[in-house]
Chains A and B, each alone.
Chain A
Amino acid sequence: MNSFIMSVLQQSLIFSITVMGIYITYKILKFADLSADGSFTLGASVSAILITRGVSPIVSLGISMLAGALAGLATGILNVKLKIQDILSSILVMVGLYSINLRIMEGKANLPLFNHKSLFTDKNPLFVLSIITLICAMFFTLFFKTKLGYLLKGIGDNENMITSLGINIGSIKIFALSLSNSFIALSGGIMAQYQGFSDINMGTGTMIMGLASIIIGYSIFKRIGFLNSSIICIVGTLLYRTSIALSLRAGFNPSDLKLISSILVVIVLSIGNSKELFINRRNQSLRKKKLKNSTTLREAGGGNA
């Protein structure tokens, strides 16, 4: 049981970095970036191949981030310069990345790292992961307090206003996509080192996982008021991974997981929506009651007069 909790916790920490990346495009930029599936694997394969070539694990992660940034750059250029719709340009990049990832891993669909030194060799994985996630979360939080961070928020909010500040929104968008995808690739690279191999299919479903985690985090913490969005990402991921792990424990097949993810997102979304419905109804019935009371009072008052 203890190792079960540990592994869920560790995986959540890795994935929460991806979720922060997806948060940048999905929540802040309002840009449907589906290339996450590709750039997660990209980060993993770049880091894996470099490690087998004897590059230090940390340096390999840096190069993974760079590769991710390039993938984001590609999506951005397709969207901004070639004016291809956001969702389509990201799908094109995702599809293209599949071949690129295979090439990076020298045509092999699976690249084991078991005999090589990784970030986690002779170290406590939870400790290493906590530090990395903490650094990412701090960067994430601080970045969105800077002028550049506010520009990103502003573009998602009202592009017009940012243009009127004399800013080229196209280049800011490209930058944001690069940043987002370098987060995702970093997380992919860490995942490869954590599990000891890189696999061509390991990124499948990254996007839906990210959305689910963000939506879960939001629907739970929306009412608490202002909470740091990096914490929402981390806790959302933790809750999502826990529910997935629990459903595995409950006896579902791993092949059912994608369906479970989808259903989970539907449930969380509909609960979020029906909550408002419920509250509105309650307010309505309260109002009706009040009205009733006041009319009876008035009637009583009228009787007195």
Chain B
Amino acid sequence: MLKLNQVSKTFNKDSINEQKVFNNFSMDIEKDDFICVLGSNGAGKSTLLNIISGKVKVDDGDIILNNVDVTEDTEYEKCKRISRIFQDPSLGTNPSMTIYENLSMAKNKGSRFGLSFLIDRKDEGYFKELLKTLHLGLEDKLHTPVSQLSGGQRQSLALIMAVIGKPDLLLLDEHTAALDPKTSEIVMNITDNIVKEKGLTTIMVTHNVDQAIRYGNRLIMLHRGNKIIDVSGEKKNSLTKERLLELFKDMDDKSLFS
């Protein structure tokens, strides 16, 4: 469903700080894939997501989404079909608005933002139901401004908002990295449930090896803009942390886990 064809990206071209992140990088993502992307700092994980979401334009190559070339689409055009959750919990929601208002905005995604009223009282039951699946008690705080929620609550809300319109592709950019271990666990469980329930095609970038092994049906390890490990299906299921470490050994590069 998503194809990256021979994509190249260089930052600060023709300067001392020139940084070649991708050189003829190709990747194929099937529908309903849940891909975990691991890699050290500078491996190109975030750039990969930025390229897919349109935040960064590629120098060369094509991006094909559902058989349509979207290489030249701007970020907001791509966002109509792709949802993304960021590492920073404050980026996915509008802090000064209430949960109700935030959900109403997200629900309207894809439709026109015209001069009709945003708040629809009829949505209350639907929103409560959605929030109940989180088990965080947010369904009783519908009219609380999001700024008063904790990081984990915000990230969970952002997740609900991102998938409310069933996007073609869900991008998770280390979305549990800023949370404490326990909250991170809860948010990850919620994520997994939502992805499975809605059958979303998902790419998750993470630093957490355990998470990458536990979730998803495909695991990709990036290193300096190259896929050095790409396992899926049975092979991915039988993958253990030890086995993954073994696969690295021949790389002889300890910075992989930094």
Residues of A within 8 A of B (CB): 143, 145-151, 153-154, 157-158, 160-161, 163-169
Which of B13-21, B27-35, B114-122 participates in binding chain A?
A: B114-122
Check A164–B79 contact: CB distance below 8 A: yes
Q: A153-B96, A157-B97, A163-B79 are in contact. Are A146 and B114 (CB under 8 A)?
A: yes
Q: Which of A153, A166, A167 contacts B94 (CB 8 A)?
A: A153
Q: How many Å from the CB of A177 to the closest CB on chain B?
A: 17
Check A165–B114 contact: CB distance below 8 A: no
Q: A153-B96, A160-B91 are in contact. Are A166 and B115 (CB under 8 A)?
A: no
Least CB separation from B102: chain A residue: A161
Check B105–A150 contact: CB distance below 8 A: yes
Q: Which of B75, B95, B110, B118 contacts A158 (CB 8 A)?
A: B95
Least CB separation from B108: chain A residue: A147
Q: How many Å from the CB of B76 to the closest CB on chain A?
A: 5
Complex Cα–Cα for A169 and B83 (A): 17
Q: A153-B97, A160-B86, A161-B92 are in contact. Are A166 and B77 (CB under 8 A)?
A: yes
Least CB separation from B91: chain A residue: A160
Contacts of B126 in A (CB 8 A): none
Check A157–B75 contact: CB distance below 8 A: no
| B77-99 interface with A by 8 A CB criterion | 77, 79-81, 83-84, 86, 90-97
Complex Cα–Cα for A157 and B101 (A): 13
Contacts of B112 in A (CB 8 A): 147
Contacts of B94 in A (CB 8 A): 153-154, 157-158, 161
Q: How many Å from the CB of B88 to the closest CB on chain A?
A: 9
Contacts of A168 in B (CB 8 A): 74, 76
Given contacts A154-B94, A166-B80, 13 further A-B pairs with CB under 8 A are A145-B118, A148-B113, A150-B105, A150-B118, A158-B93, A158-B95, A160-B86, A161-B94, A161-B105, A164-B92, A165-B113, A166-B77, A167-B76
Contact indicator per residue, chain B 124-150, by CB within 8 Å of chain A (1) or not (0)? 000000000000000000000000000
Contacts of B81 in A (CB 8 A): 166
Q: List 23 A-B contacts (CB under 8 A).
A: A145-B117, A145-B119, A146-B114, A146-B117, A147-B105, A147-B116, A148-B113, A150-B97, A150-B104, A153-B96, A153-B97, A154-B97, A157-B94, A157-B97, A160-B86, A164-B79, A164-B83, A164-B162, A165-B106, A165-B109, A166-B79, A166-B80, A169-B76
Least CB separation from A144: chain B residue: B118
Check B113–A147 contact: CB distance below 8 A: yes
Check A157–B95 contact: CB distance below 8 A: yes
Check B79–A146 contact: CB distance below 8 A: no
| B60-79 interface with A by 8 A CB criterion | 74-77, 79
Least CB separation from A155: chain B residue: B94
Contacts of A147 in B (CB 8 A): 105, 108, 112-118
Q: How many Å from the CB of B14 to the closest CB on chain A?
A: 22
Contacts of B162 in A (CB 8 A): 164
